[in-house]
Chains A and B, each alone.
Chain A
């Protein structure tokens, strides 16, 4: 955006004219329409095309198979000319762990597509890609996704993976799911004709079923979602496909099923979470994470449970707040929220694991909130307004008209209502905007993964063959090289600052408050290989001093290693000098 041109000519003509944000068209080698959704098969095909089109940047691998045998695709985006992915700070980005939250996949796919096509055509993105690596899992729940597209569903069904599960404890698995009785390809609602019912069809719009007033007579009562009693136990739709929640199956504050519904028997008990967990554990270079969900327009951070509140030290909260504030600006109808405090308690969620157990700065974005159809953030839609918007903007496409149906056990019922596209999913004509805004926020997040440099090194001679080397290490980004949560809980490996050279011996070393500080806080042991437990903080400079012996002019190599950013190294000479990085 900062490169956007302001048209001076237009400005001269009209004082009312603001800055224009537009950009030159950069074609992609893979044409993808962003005004539609893609099922699992189409997603797989597009991922393969992208990899083929951008082989220097993209590599597609399967992390394993889902419960039903679908490949768990992971796309790595890395420019190997600037180093191995594992040597760079990396961002892990996934979506669609809930099978019904489909557009999360499109947002991830869009991100891959946009980054790949812009590399070499845009300085900001080129720089970001050259510095960082990205790991994308577009669909964590490919089975749920496949079912949602293929089968009649509601906006909320197929959240679970597809491992057959005995939801109603009758010994049978997935034996009584919903049924598409009216044949519209969706699972909608059933209403029973009931003279004592408390609902009626609205006189203004018969598609609206409204509650009657206290002194009015109704005609309908709720009969649940569309279906029959398939197993003859007297209950309808009580045991459909799956019946768990993979976003409760991660080993961060994991709790058993009776405390946290959907948790599974143990963390990583599903093939999907196990495959991804294994990958993430093998990549300690992951410094940032985003998991896309729908819906509600939220930028969520942990903790998921109150008892983990104290795990987030003040320094980390400040980091989240800075990023979250940027997110609220870039996603104008989104709110930055804390999961347990502002939403509900979640044990064992993806970001709970990555942020609390692995020390990775992580967000979950809840895509879309349906009031945004109005493009006004203070509009609450009542039923009539909602129908109006559906009619005018969607030409009624997300609604199935009510029809009468002879139900085998309920008698005559009305079937109809919002179909599976009627809530949670971004209207396709707005999908590209939603994808781009979220992508841009996530790239902002990625761009703030730690980057370190040595802006200033001073060598001073103390006496013959005795030298003082003072080193500043600067992190120019918001995310520290080690989050406080990691430092406080012994997560991962501390950063390591090494000073060595031929014939050079480190006598003592330590940290300083700043370059003018005269009192060294020394390390007692192994002074030439300092463990920097707290890393380099958010947008800050840490100062270190080494007292070494060595002959004048000897080479000394200073290196700083950190799990979550690129290691840096500089060689200097033992002679009075100040080394300053070029601006």
Chain B
């Protein structure tokens, strides 16, 4: 099925089932390059440039070209210099990688062309244009893979029941069905801390499941499953050989079953000069330290990285975080991924980054312009201050945010509450309170000087409870006077704040973490907070009731696919600059081979001792520990011109499988029988650093 037809299917489903189309704000890919724009951008880079060349390395399932840029002072000899490979766009949703790759290419060309004399860059900005194209279509369904058809529910019908955009908001999200009937089963509840998130109930807490949850769609093939067999697809980052998920539905019929994956693998195998790779995608091994202890299924290969390469990854990881300031990256399973294969089977140091991680929460609500800056800077210090200072002196709004509280009611025991508060400029406070009996609306005011907060909780027009509270830092104490006039104590603590410096990410000391109730999926809650406070809610479709054709009244909502991978397009330039800096700094770490000698010593007339050293002056090893084990990167070959029968000691052909960084060396030693003054030579051939030879005479050196 071609992509246009896929779009049509989704659209058809949408028009049939839907009540009206309301477009939801800015999509996650607004301002990003679609395939046509990418082709233009690539042509623009190459146009008139003597050092940038474009080639097609293969075609996608639908016949789109996969393009590679080669940056080299002499493009004809590009393959003879050591090369850095930059790859992006394996996952159809990861648009930021492609944008970054193009920007990195552009800046390397404009500002760092001096590097290109001795180095080559191969940049493949979008491996999966087919998947990307679908995400630029009418409906954002978070398409990951290729166009290869997969009978996901294995019922001998292909793609017969994909997701449909029922509410017509242009996004495929989730459906939650409250109190489903007996032929369905509730498995989730709304997270009490962040009720927009779903979690599995905890029986120990007396929680009972309330929702069954589905992908947005219908059961068009009447098999009792919703949206279980949509278009495609095979995930390219699960289609490579290392730890390939053999029986998964999205990993392909066999490794490299996808033409895109095959093109990429072939490119790598054919370019022995690649010495390092940077992969922009959904994986990260720079911020999240890769596991260097685990073994693969055979017990003979590494699960992730070989222990001998832990230092290398730590070194480059530090370089990355220092250069880019990126603090966090989502963790995703790397089985079958491109970068995992590149390392674990080819031995190439491959550094994976998401490019963009979830930003810190914004620091100050009132600072309209500060938003972009705030999320790039390290906000940990500011957060610390809010702990000790009195609330009014702090940058942090002492009131706004989510609080969990506990009240002790005589003869009833404890009861948990969640208060969501919002303070306006005039210190009036509004909000809501969730408790077992239901949700109450809160109104009141805050006195910044004293930290006193008085609130009225209205459960219904008849029942209103006054709350007298004191706020100190992130703690709340107070009294609640019920309708019967009895006062009970209330204690609370802040869970997240609209503007506090990092409620869960910044290290805030033990004191703060203690007793704090967190959302069951803290990461999701933090994304949600980021969406709320800095993105105008663009990342999450609020749960809204919808009349489902077979389920009756349900709610549709959830995260917007691609939101947590891609920043707003106006941040792309700022994001790409440090990425270029990282690449440049990485080039400074690359191995540098130096040949020392040969030194020649005359042992007797016609008998000479020769020593030759090969030294790595760079800080990275010439080959990873993995490469030395896997032997897929060719060794450095040292070839002595003296015929084997005249060699008294030493090998005519020697191989160096790898040199450690920072002065790692290999010394080669021969004693040969040659005529005094004879012309000799040693050839040093290396797949990554080219060939060189030394010619010398059989005569003593100093």
Contact = CB atoms under 8 A, between A and B. Distances in A.
A277 interface: yes
B298 A265 contact: no
A240 interface: no
Contact of B247 (A257, A409, A489): A489
B300 interface: yes
B528 to A, nearest CB: 34
Interface in A484-517: 489-494, 496
A489 B255 CA distance: 17
User: Top 5 closest A-B pairs, CB basis?
Assistant: A525-B224, A251-B254, A489-B247, A234-B644, A256-B345
Contact of B301 (A169, A232, A255, A281): A255
B629 to A, nearest CB: 6
21 contacts: A169-B635, A169-B637, A170-B655, A234-B651, A253-B246, A254-B241, A255-B300, A256-B301, A258-B630, A259-B301, A265-B632, A267-B241, A267-B254, A305-B298, A489-B246, A490-B247, A490-B249, A491-B247, A524-B183, A526-B223, A531-B154
A257 B298 contact: no
B155 interface: yes
A266 interface: yes
B433 to A, nearest CB: 41
Taking chain A's interface residues, is the majority helix, strand, or loop, or is none over half, making it mixed?
loop
A233 B644 contact: yes
A419 B345 CA distance: 39
A258 B255 contact: no
A305 B300 CA distance: 12
Contacts of B265: 265-266
Contacts of B647: 234
Given A234-B652, A526-B221, 11 more contacts: A169-B634, A233-B644, A234-B651, A234-B653, A251-B254, A253-B246, A254-B244, A281-B254, A307-B297, A494-B154, A561-B156
Contacts of B223: 525-526
Contacts of B183: 524
B36 interface: no
Contacts of A526: 221-224
Contacts of A251: 244, 254-255
B321 to A, nearest CB: 31
A281 to B, nearest CB: 6
Contact of B299 (A168, A267, A307, A357): A307
A229 interface: yes
A304 B454 CA distance: 73
Nearest to B647: A234
Contacts of B632: 256-258, 265
Contact of B151 (A169, A257, A347, A493): A493
Taking chain B's interface residues, is the majority helix, strand, or loop, or is none over half, making it mixed?
loop
B256 A357 contact: no
Contacts of B685: 171
Given A267-B256, A281-B253, A357 B246 contact: yes
A492 B156 CA distance: 9
B637 A171 contact: yes
A77 B265 CA distance: 37
A526 B153 CA distance: 14
Interface string B614-633: 00000000000000011110
Given A251-B255, A266-B255, A257 B155 contact: no
A550 B88 CA distance: 59
Nearest to A256: B345
Interface in B505-561: none
A490 B631 CA distance: 35
Contacts of B655: 169-170
Interface residues of B, number: 46
Interface string A153-175: 00000000000001011110000
A268 interface: yes
Contact of A357 (B222, B254, B634, B635): B254
A566 B25 CA distance: 55
Interface in B41-72: none
Nearest to B299: A307
A256 B241 contact: yes
B282 to A, nearest CB: 22
Nearest to B246: A357
Best-buried of A255, A281, A491, A493 by chain B (most CB within 10 Å) = A255
Contact of A265 (B244, B249, B269, B639): B269
Interface of B: 151, 154-156, 183, 219, 221-225, 241, 244, 246-247, 249, 253-256, 265, 269, 297-301, 344-345, 629-632, 634-635, 637, 639, 643-645, 647, 651-653, 655, 685
Contacts of A268: 254, 256
Contact of A259 (B254, B298, B634): B298
A192 B300 CA distance: 39
B544 to A, nearest CB: 28
Given A258-B631, A277-B254, A524-B183, A531 B155 contact: yes
A255 B298 contact: yes
Contacts of A489: 246-247
A170 B643 contact: no
Nearest to B155: A531
A398 B631 CA distance: 39
A76 B451 CA distance: 87
A436 to B, nearest CB: 35
Contacts of A233: 644, 651-653
B191 to A, nearest CB: 30
Contacts of B637: 169-171
Interface in A129-184: 166, 168-171
Contacts of A256: 241, 301, 344-345, 630, 632
B255 A267 contact: yes
B160 to A, nearest CB: 12
A496 B255 contact: no
Contacts of B269: 265
A307 to B, nearest CB: 5
A507 to B, nearest CB: 14
B345 A170 contact: no
A424 to B, nearest CB: 29
Contacts of B631: 169, 257-258
Contacts of A229: 644
Best-buried of A265, A357, A489 by chain B (most CB within 10 Å) = A265
Contacts of B253: 281
Nearest to B219: A525
Contacts of B254: 251, 267-268, 277, 281, 357
A357 B257 CA distance: 14
Interface in A243-272: 251, 253-259, 265-268
Contacts of A494: 154-155
A55 to B, nearest CB: 34
Contact of B629 (A166, A258, A266, A496): A258
A257 B301 CA distance: 11
B166 to A, nearest CB: 20
B224 A524 contact: yes
A282 to B, nearest CB: 11
Best-buried of B151, B297, B298, B647 by chain A (most CB within 10 Å) = B298
A490 B244 CA distance: 16
Nearest to B631: A258
A494 B632 CA distance: 40
A232 B255 contact: no
A378 to B, nearest CB: 37
B630 A409 contact: no
A305 B219 CA distance: 42
A261 to B, nearest CB: 11
